[in-house]
């Protein structure tokens, strides 16, 4: 149901909701409160204690307007009495309230005030309390939900929308079967939704919350189990010849492989020559050299007379791999093809034919390589680079392609072991920890915002040496609400300050073709400095780029900064990462310090998890953890454990969740896991 169909929400308000990602009544219901206001703590003014949050009812005895500030705002002071004593209430910028309150009628009314109590010269004070007329809503002395807001949207709007959406919601349905609820002492869905928004008591709220967390984690467990069943470790259809063909490729390399690279290649070859199908994850920090590892695997498969496919998350990465592999396989007779959705029709047809007839040995591309009409003659290995494992829909699509090929997933997002165990229960894992020899450490320095100019001067010097730089900002356009320099603003500035060097802007709202054009120009050295949001493609390789400057670094997560930093330090030259910090909150300082001290993605991931919790842990989605509404796999790990046996029982009875009674569960899992690709 559309939001505008709810009472009190017109197109204007609906737009505000949309800004929060809420489009339907269902969305509103599933956007759970961030916290609650307990307005039941009704106090006499004489009983108020500083620091507590309380509800007071009283009348206005005096009203005093402050002076206007430069911005046309002024304070409003109210003296409130309730028979037991007087309290001061202070609003900043409350011009819109003045008239109603100072009218005669206004003076006679009883108001309620809810807020945190402080003290001024012995008197109780409330700063910016919530307030209302008692005759209108009885003082609202309940537990009320608190939601995230955006400008033009008040708590009241959100509460009304939630109440309205709950009222029209179809009741009596529940994705959790009754026996599951009984066994685990869970309330039903109607109760849970009602009480997560408008709890009748603390206990109601806890019961509701537990049920919703349990449900979400059960879906999570079921999703993992379903994917495992869809992609089960069947017997291999492509048991490869154990002859070490891959050595031919390795001998030809201009460098020595690191021990971890060698070990990983050995793991992969062991898998592919065994009776079982391979399903392996290779985890290696940015720059650890995963590409050549995958090349060894691909080479072996092709020498066995089969085909291989390499999937990248973006066109530009696919293009880059195409070039790398053509060079790596030069003179071997291996036929490599690029297949992206941007390909002209004729070329595309040619590529499809090549695959179907087995004339192409290796295809490199985006999702296009698993498109509906793509047929393979003998696909034995699928490699995905820098991305998630497959979502459920992709697994279904893939299992229909040919004869269940070997799977190799490569990722640069380091994931703490504790999480990896839960998430990759169905995969074998190889880790590449050491860096290729001779790599220079990237020098990382924190720069307070006041000294920004020094940072840019430094960057300028690097450009003068013929190097290139990335400048990353948290937002595209400017925002009044946040103290943030936007990519657009920085671009306008650097266009001038870095002249004559060419600066360009790139961000996620551009068309793929446009992004492509700019990235290619940057790769070719036609652009010196690239201002961007975090869209800089993971895995992009521009060895001549030596500076990564991150603006408003306090707004980035650790793992995210580490990923960004990995864009530089790819060539011979010394590279630098500069973190410009606005403000000096403790967490931001801590993070920046971790960045200065460590270049190890695993150490950083562990710290990130400690500092931020899984909620915002960068890259979780890439790892196949769907976005959660209320649960946190790390914080609620005990509940997660409890869902394990329940998920197993359900899947034993119905391995692919196809029974009619499980339909709702299946729908929900597809919604969560259907397509995990964050780039889509």
**Interface contacts to ligand ADP, rule CB under 6 A:** 255, 257-258, 261, 284, 286-292, 412, 436, 539, 541
Nearer to ligand ADP, 225 or 287 (CB): 287
Give 216-278 as a 3 state SS string.
Answer: HHHHHHHHHHHHHHHCCCCECCCCCCCCCCHHHHHHCCCCCCCHHHHHHHHHHHHHHHCCECC
Binding of Mg ion at residue 414 (CB under 5 A)? no
Selection from ligand ADP, Mg ion, none that 298 binds (CB < 5 to 8 A by kind) is none
Nearer to ligand ADP, 406 or 570 (CB): 570
Nearer to ligand ADP, 213 or 282 (CB): 282
Torsion angle in degrees (nearest 10) through CA of 350, 354, 356, 360: -150
Nearer to Mg ion, 218 or 293 (CB): 293
Binding of Mg ion at residue 289 (CB under 5 A)? no
Selection from Mg ion, ligand ADP, none that 68 binds (CB < 5 to 8 A by kind) is none
Selection from ligand ADP, Mg ion, none that 414 binds (CB < 5 to 8 A by kind) is none
2 sits in which H/E element: none
Selection from ligand ADP, Mg ion, none that 287 binds (CB < 5 to 8 A by kind) is ligand ADP
Cα–Cα distance measured from residue 326 to residue 337, given in angstroms and rounded to the nearest whole number: 9
Six-digit token string for 436: 């290729």
Neighbours of 177 (CB within 10 A): 14
Six-digit token string for 622: 């890439």
Tell me how far CA of residue 500 lies from CA of 82, 464, 542, in angstroms: 69, 10, 21
DSSP, collapsed to helix, strand or coil, labels residue 600 as coil
- Per-residue interface string for the shown chain with Mg ion, residues 460-499, x marking contact by CB under 5 A: ----------------------------------------
In the complex, least distance from residue 213 CB atom to Mg ion, rounded to whole angstroms: 36
Cα–Cα distance measured from residue 434 to residue 290, given in angstroms and rounded to the nearest whole number: 11
Nearer to ligand ADP, 159 or 623 (CB): 623
DSSP, collapsed to helix, strand or coil, labels residue 678 as coil
Cα–Cα distance measured from residue 53 to residue 626, given in angstroms and rounded to the nearest whole number: 36
In the complex, least distance from residue 653 CB atom to Mg ion, rounded to whole angstroms: 41
In the complex, least distance from residue 541 CB atom to Mg ion, rounded to whole angstroms: 8
Nearer to ligand ADP, 134 or 292 (CB): 292
Cα–Cα distance measured from residue 221 to residue 640, given in angstroms and rounded to the nearest whole number: 8
358 sits in which H/E element: none
Nearer to ligand ADP, 525 or 674 (CB): 525
In the complex, least distance from residue 539 CB atom to Mg ion, rounded to whole angstroms: 4
Selection from ligand ADP, Mg ion, none that 541 binds (CB < 5 to 8 A by kind) is ligand ADP
DSSP, collapsed to helix, strand or coil, labels residue 432 as strand
Question: How long a stretch of residues is the chain?
Answer: 680
Nearer to ligand ADP, 101 or 282 (CB): 282
Selection from ligand ADP, Mg ion, none that 292 binds (CB < 5 to 8 A by kind) is ligand ADP
In the complex, least distance from residue 259 CB atom to ligand ADP, rounded to whole angstroms: 10
Nearer to ligand ADP, 261 or 486 (CB): 261
Nearer to Mg ion, 144 or 317 (CB): 317
Find the part of the chain contacting Mg ion (CB under 5 A) among 47-55, 303-311, 498-506, 534-542: 534-542
Return the DSSP state at 347. H
- Find out whether 320 and 516 touch, Cβ atoms under 8 Å: no
DSSP, collapsed to helix, strand or coil, labels residue 214 as helix
Beta 123-127 vs 111-120: how paired, if at all? antiparallel
In the complex, least distance from residue 257 CB atom to ligand ADP, rounded to whole angstroms: 5
In the complex, least distance from residue 574 CB atom to ligand ADP, rounded to whole angstroms: 16
Nearer to ligand ADP, 289 or 402 (CB): 289
In the complex, least distance from residue 321 CB atom to ligand ADP, rounded to whole angstroms: 9
In the complex, least distance from residue 254 CB atom to ligand ADP, rounded to whole angstroms: 8
DSSP, collapsed to helix, strand or coil, labels residue 348 as helix
Residue nearest to Mg ion (CB): 539
Six-digit token string for 193: 């939704």
Which phi and psi angles does 345 have, rounded to 5°?
Answer: -55, -45
Place of tokens 């192409």: 360
Six-digit token string for 33: 């409160």
Selection from ligand ADP, Mg ion, none that 289 binds (CB < 5 to 8 A by kind) is ligand ADP
Selection from ligand ADP, Mg ion, none that 258 binds (CB < 5 to 8 A by kind) is ligand ADP
Nearer to Mg ion, 563 or 643 (CB): 563
Nearer to ligand ADP, 288 or 430 (CB): 288
Cα–Cα distance measured from residue 82 to residue 61, given in angstroms and rounded to the nearest whole number: 10
Binding of Mg ion at residue 539 (CB under 5 A)? yes
Six-digit token string for 14: 């609906």
Sign of the torsion formed by the C-alpha atoms of 283, 287, 291 and 296? negative
In the complex, least distance from residue 362 CB atom to ligand ADP, rounded to whole angstroms: 16
In the complex, least distance from residue 463 CB atom to Mg ion, rounded to whole angstroms: 26
Nearer to ligand ADP, 139 or 414 (CB): 414
- Find out whether 245 and 304 touch, Cβ atoms under 8 Å: yes
Cα–Cα distance measured from residue 128 to residue 112, given in angstroms and rounded to the nearest whole number: 13
> Number of residues in contact with Mg ion, rule: CB under 5 A?
1
Six-digit token string for 643: 């869902």
In the complex, least distance from residue 539 CB atom to ligand ADP, rounded to whole angstroms: 6
Cα–Cα distance measured from residue 333 to residue 326, given in angstroms and rounded to the nearest whole number: 10
Q: What are the residues facing 124 on neighbouring strands?
A: 119
Selection from Mg ion, ligand ADP, none that 402 binds (CB < 5 to 8 A by kind) is none
In the complex, least distance from residue 611 CB atom to ligand ADP, rounded to whole angstroms: 25
Find the part of the chain contacting Mg ion (CB under 5 A) among 338-346, 477-485, 536-544, 545-553: 536-544
In the complex, least distance from residue 508 CB atom to ligand ADP, rounded to whole angstroms: 22
Selection from ligand ADP, Mg ion, none that 255 binds (CB < 5 to 8 A by kind) is ligand ADP
Cis status, amide bond into 509, omega within 30 of 0 = no
Selection from ligand ADP, Mg ion, none that 338 binds (CB < 5 to 8 A by kind) is none
Nearer to ligand ADP, 120 or 259 (CB): 259
Residue nearest to ligand ADP (CB): 289
Q: What are the residues facing 549 on neighbouring strands?
A: 471, 578
Cα–Cα distance measured from residue 373 to residue 355, given in angstroms and rounded to the nearest whole number: 11
Cα–Cα distance measured from residue 639 to residue 616, given in angstroms and rounded to the nearest whole number: 20
Q: Which residues contact 635 (CB under 8 A, 6 or more apart)?
A: 613, 614
In the complex, least distance from residue 617 CB atom to ligand ADP, rounded to whole angstroms: 20
Selection from ligand ADP, Mg ion, none that 175 binds (CB < 5 to 8 A by kind) is none
Residues that bind Mg ion (CB under 5 A): 539
């Amino acid at each position: 149901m559309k939001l505008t169909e709810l009472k009190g929400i017109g197109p204007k308000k609906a737009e505000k909701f949309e800004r929060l990602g809420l489009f339907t009544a269902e969305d509103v219901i599933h956007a759970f409160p961030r916290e609650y206001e307990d307005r039941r703590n009704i106090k006499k003014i004489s009983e108020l204690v500083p620091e507590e949050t309380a509800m007071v009812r009283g009348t206005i005895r005096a009203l005093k307007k402050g002076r206007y500030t430069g911005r046309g705002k002024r304070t409003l002071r109210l003296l409130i009495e309730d028979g037991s004593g007087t309290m001061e209430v202070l609003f900043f910028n409350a011009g819109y309230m003045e008239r109603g309150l100072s009218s005669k009628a206004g003076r006679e009314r009883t108001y309620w005030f809810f807020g945190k109590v402080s003290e001024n010269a012995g008197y109780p004070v409330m700063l910016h309390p919530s307030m209302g007329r008692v005759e209108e809503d009885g003082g609202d002395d309940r537990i009320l939900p608190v939601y995230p807001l955006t400008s033009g949207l008040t708590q009241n709007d959100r509460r009304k929308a939630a109440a309205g959406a709950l009222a029209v919601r179809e009741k009596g349905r529940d994705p959790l079967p009754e026996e599951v609820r009984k066994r685990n002492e869970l309330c039903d869905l109607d109760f849970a939704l009602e009480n997560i928004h408008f709890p009748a008591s603390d206990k109601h709220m806890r019961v509701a919350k537990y049920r919703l967390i349990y449900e979400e984690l059960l879906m999570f467990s079921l999703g993992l189990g379903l994917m495992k069943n869809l992609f089960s470790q069947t017997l291999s259809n492509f048991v490869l010849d154990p002859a070490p063909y891959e050595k031919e490729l390795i001998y030809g390399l201009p460098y020595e492989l690191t021990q971890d690279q060698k070990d990983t290649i050995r793991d992969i070859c062991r898998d592919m020559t065994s009776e079982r199908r391979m399903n392996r994850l290779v985890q290696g920090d940015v720059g650890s050299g995963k590409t050549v590892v995958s090349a060894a695997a691909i080479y072996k498969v092709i020498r066995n007379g089969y085909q291989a496919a390499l999937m990248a998350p973006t066109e530009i990465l696919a293009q880059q791999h195409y070039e790398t592999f053509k060079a790596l396989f030069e003179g071997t007779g291996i036929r490599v093809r690029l297949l992206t959705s941007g390909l002209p029709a004729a070329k595309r047809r040619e590529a499809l034919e090549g695959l179907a007839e087995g004339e192409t040995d290796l295809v490199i591309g985006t999702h296009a390589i698993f498109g509906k009409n793509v047929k393979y003659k003998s696909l034995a290995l699928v490699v995905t680079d820098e991305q998630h494992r497959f979502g459920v829909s992709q697994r279904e699509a893939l299992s229909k392609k040919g004869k269940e090929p070997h799977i190799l997933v490569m990722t640069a997002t380091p994931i703490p072991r504790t999480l990896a165990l839960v998430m990759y229960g169905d995969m074998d894992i190889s880790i590449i920890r050491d860096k290729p020899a001779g790599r220079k450490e990237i020098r990382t320095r924190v720069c307070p915002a006041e000294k920004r100019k020094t940072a840019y001067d430094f960057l300028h010097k690097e450009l003068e040496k013929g190097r290139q730089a990335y400048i990353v900002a948290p937002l595209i356009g400017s925002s009044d609400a946040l103290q943030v320099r936007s990519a657009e603003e920085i671009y306008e500035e650097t266009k001038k300050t870095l002249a004559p060097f060419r600066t360009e802007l790139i961000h996620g709202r551009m068309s793929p073709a446009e992004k492509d054009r700019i990235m290619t120009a940057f790769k070719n050295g036609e652009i010196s400095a690239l201002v961007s949001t975090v869209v800089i493609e993971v895995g992009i390789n521009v060895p001549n780029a030596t500076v990564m400057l991150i603006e408003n670094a306090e707004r980035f997560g650790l793992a995210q900064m580490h990923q960004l930093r990995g864009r530089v330090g790819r060539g011979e030259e010394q590279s630098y990462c500069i973190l410009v910090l606005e403000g000096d909150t403790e967490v931001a300082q801590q993070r920046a310090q971790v960045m200065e001290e460590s270049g190890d993605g695993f150490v950083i991931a562990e710290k990130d998890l400690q500092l931020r919790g899984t909620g915002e842990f960068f890259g979780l989605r890439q790892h196949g953890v769907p976005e959660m509404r209320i649960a946190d796999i790390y914080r609620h790990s005990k509940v997660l454990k409890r869902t394990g046996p329940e998920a197993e029982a359900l899947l034993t009875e119905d391995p692919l969740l196809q029974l009619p009674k499980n339909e709702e569960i299946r729908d929900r899992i597809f919604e969560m896991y259907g397509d995990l690709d964050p780039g889509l």
